[in-house]
Amino acid sequence: MAERVLSLLKKEGKYIAGVFSPYGLYTSSRPYDDESDAIDAIGGRNLLRDAAADHIATLETIFAIYEGKRNAPTRDVKLDLTGFTRKQVAVLRVVLKIPFGSTLSYGEVAKRAGLPGAARFVGNVMRINRLGPVIPCHRVVSTTGLGGYTGGIDKKIELLAREGVIRGDFSQKALQRIP
């Protein structure tokens, strides 16, 4: 296994921690008020620290996503997809392409990943997605509502509201689907 390192960004009084390998971002935290909480959230306590410019740029992008910035440069982020199966990677690649301010259903993601009828599989992949919000699993929803979210449904609602997908009280009609 390639050596992983910890990088940390402090911005606007918040901390985001990221674990990086030579392949790219392995995982990251959400913004926290406390540095230790950010590091603990990704299990980075025992990793060597590295403040490489590309790592900090990636963490800046993650911060921008959490802030609801439309043009966060996610295409520039190198991702470490080690540990995922070929089918899981196919799902993650579809989700990566869901545009800001849009959603897709679990079933539609499955279909586009070449796995028709595998909506539950997509849900399980979203549950283990360690690369959110760069791979925006919050944009994958149920046909009957929001579905779940590992970070808590309130965080999913917050992220979707920042992108303008949810306006006012949540309703199924507030979701904008891409064709």
Residue identified by tokens 């910035």 is 69
Going 150 to 152 to 155 to 157, the CA torsion angle's sign is: positive
Contact between residue 19 and residue 42 where contact means Cβ atoms under 8 Å apart:
yes
99 closest CA partner among 42, 145, 48, 164: 164
125 in active site? no
Give which of 94, 104, 89, 28 is closest to 64, Cα–Cα: 28
137, 160, 165, 166: the active-site residue:
137
The per-residue DSSP string of 33-57 comes to SSHHHHHHHTT-TTSEE---HHHHH
Residues identified as active-site: 137
